[in-house]
Structure 1
């Protein structure tokens, strides 16, 4: 197994080690105002939506996690099958490993084989050559391409990159691939200045991936002989980052610490076109099995439809009309930053 593949498997093990489903985050400080008389009914059709030109059964999806190793092959096959059976989108982990290790293609391609007609989103790092990015999109028949920005993770990673001059390559990738490009953080949140800059450069989709879920500085620090634990405190919360994206009037996905259907609803209220869920689903799969994750996602779909009814909305486009307010600590942050 190559060093890259070993790192992929280390990341999976450490994501499980540090997973805490009761961990609090900014969603807990965001409150929604509920009508006592909603005049609605629970209807699964109410949560259906479209994403990248295809219909999906729910506005939440399995966000980028893994690929490029033996263990990740089995995980991606299972995630592909679950995505097909629940009719939700699936984003794969970084496929940049394929630039130098083409033999790892199967560990990504199994997801598309398991879900031939659904939404599959590819993922690469910002230094991946545009030609390779195009090839990856074509090989996976991807409906969109995530490009992840992960400077904090790279600094914490013992073998991480130290050159973050990425914009020129980002532009080249956008101009080369024929599918929508999503600029994505990895758990430290996209800031408004970056969103604004990239919007002016022609990028139209973003995944805020805020602080509150998997902490890749924490994961990399456990692999590092140096003490860089101070990096674990960096980042913008998911709610703050989503509000910044909202202010820039761009298409954005809300992710980072999504633990339950109420978090999904809050992400939609913030204006997210969809809500990404990663480690919560990964641990359901690895700690239990594929059937457990399948039932969990079906339950989330039922519960999200129920929440729509509770909050008085009967279709996706009405969700942003739900009134929200914030607890004082988060409200103070919002007043300072936005």
Structure 2
């Protein structure tokens, strides 16, 4: 097994080792005002939306996790089958390994084989050259491409990248690729300055991937002889990162610590176009099996429809109008951004 494949196997094992059910995060500090008289009915069809030109049954999807390792083949095969049966999108893990090890393609391609007509999203690092990206996107018949920005993970990774001059290559990717491009963090949150810069370069869709879920500094630190555990606290919480991103008037995918349907609902209420779910689904598959994950996703779809009805929402477009209020320290963070950055988003209190 190559060093790259072994690293991916390590990531899978450590993601399970550090996984905690219902790990507290910023979603717990956000609340929505619920009408006692909602005047609505539970309707699953209200969840249907369009993602990259294709109809999907719900606005949440299986976010990027794995590929390029022996174990990844079975995982992506299961994800592909489940995505097809539940009619939700699937984002694959980083396929950058294919530029060095093209034989690893089968561990990614199996997902598209199992879900030939659904939404499949490829994932590459920010230094992948445009010609390689085009070949990978074509091979996977990808509907969109995630480009991940993972500088904190790379520093914590013992064999990681140390050159983060990525902008020129991102510009080239934007100019040469014709499919939608998503700029994605990996669990440390996208900041407004980065979003503003990339927006000026023509990027319009951003996956927040805030802190509160899988911590790749923790995972890489477990592989490192040095103690770089202080990097584990560098993340921007998902709810805060989402509010700051929406203030930049861009389209946002909310991910990072989504644990259950209420987090999905809150992400949509914050203005998320779609909601990405990663390690919760991976661990359900790994610990309980494919049938369990299939039923889990069906349950999430039903329960998200329940929440729409409970909050008086008959159309997904209405969800951002719900009144929101916040606990400390999230409230304090929002106030600081308002004062220091002319932050003009909604006041973090009932209005």
TM-score tier by shorter-chain length is over 0.9
Q: 2:62 is matched with which residue?
A: 62
1:86 aligned residue: 86
TM-score, with structure 1 as normaliser: 0.99
Which runs of structure 2 are paired with 1:197-236 in the superposition (5 Å)?
197-236=197-236
Gapped regions of structure 1 (runs ≥ 5): none
CA contact (8 A) 1:68 1:97 kept: yes
- Which region of structure 1 is more displaced relative to structure 2, 276-285 or 174-183? 174-183
Residue 284 of structure 1: aligned partner:
284
Structure 1 equivalent of residue 4 of structure 2:
4
Partner of residue 125, structure 1? 125
RMSD over aligned Cα atoms: 0.6
Is 1:165 equivalent to 2:165 in the alignment? yes
* Distance (whole Å) between structure 1 residues aligned to residue 334 and residue 52 of structure 2: 31
* Aligned counterparts of 2:151 and 2:315: Cα–Cα separation in 1: 38
Asked if the contact 1:137–1:177 (Cα under 8 Å) also holds between the matched residues in 2, the reply is: no
Q: What residue number does 1:258 align with?
A: 258
Per-residue CA shift, 1:135-184, capped at 9, x if unaligned? 11100000000000000000000000000000000111111111000000
Alignment of 1:174 onto 2:174: yes
Superposed displacement of residue 321, structure 1: 1.0
Residue matched to 1:36:
36
Gaps of 5+ in 2: 338-342, 344-351
- Using structure 2 for the length normalisation, give the TM-score: 0.96
Within the alignment, does 1:24 sit opposite 2:24 as a pair? yes
Q: Give yes or no for the alignment of 1:188 onto 2:208.
A: no
- Residue 91 of structure 1 and its aligned partner are, at CA, apart by 0.2
Correspondence for 2:340: none
Secondary structure of 1:328's partner?
A: coil
Paired with 2:336 and 2:224, the residues of 1 have a C-alpha distance of 34
Cα distance in structure 1, aligned partners of 2:244 and 2:145? 22
The corresponding residue for 2:138 is 138
Q: Which residue in 2 is equivalent to 1:300?
A: 300
Question: What's the CA shift string for 1:80-112, capped at 9, x where partnerless?
Answer: 000000000000000000001000000000000
Mapped to 2, the partners of 1:177 and 1:118 lie a distance apart of 20
The offset of 1:22, in angstroms, is 2.2
Conserved in 2, the CA contact under 8 Å of 1:149 and 1:184?
A: yes
CA distance in 1, matches of 2:329, 2:159: 37
2:333 is aligned with 1:333: yes
| Kept after mapping to 2: 8 A contact 1:86/1:298 | yes
> 2:82, 2:28 → 1: CA distance?
28
Structure 1 residue ranges, 4+ long, deviating more than 3 angstroms after superposition: none
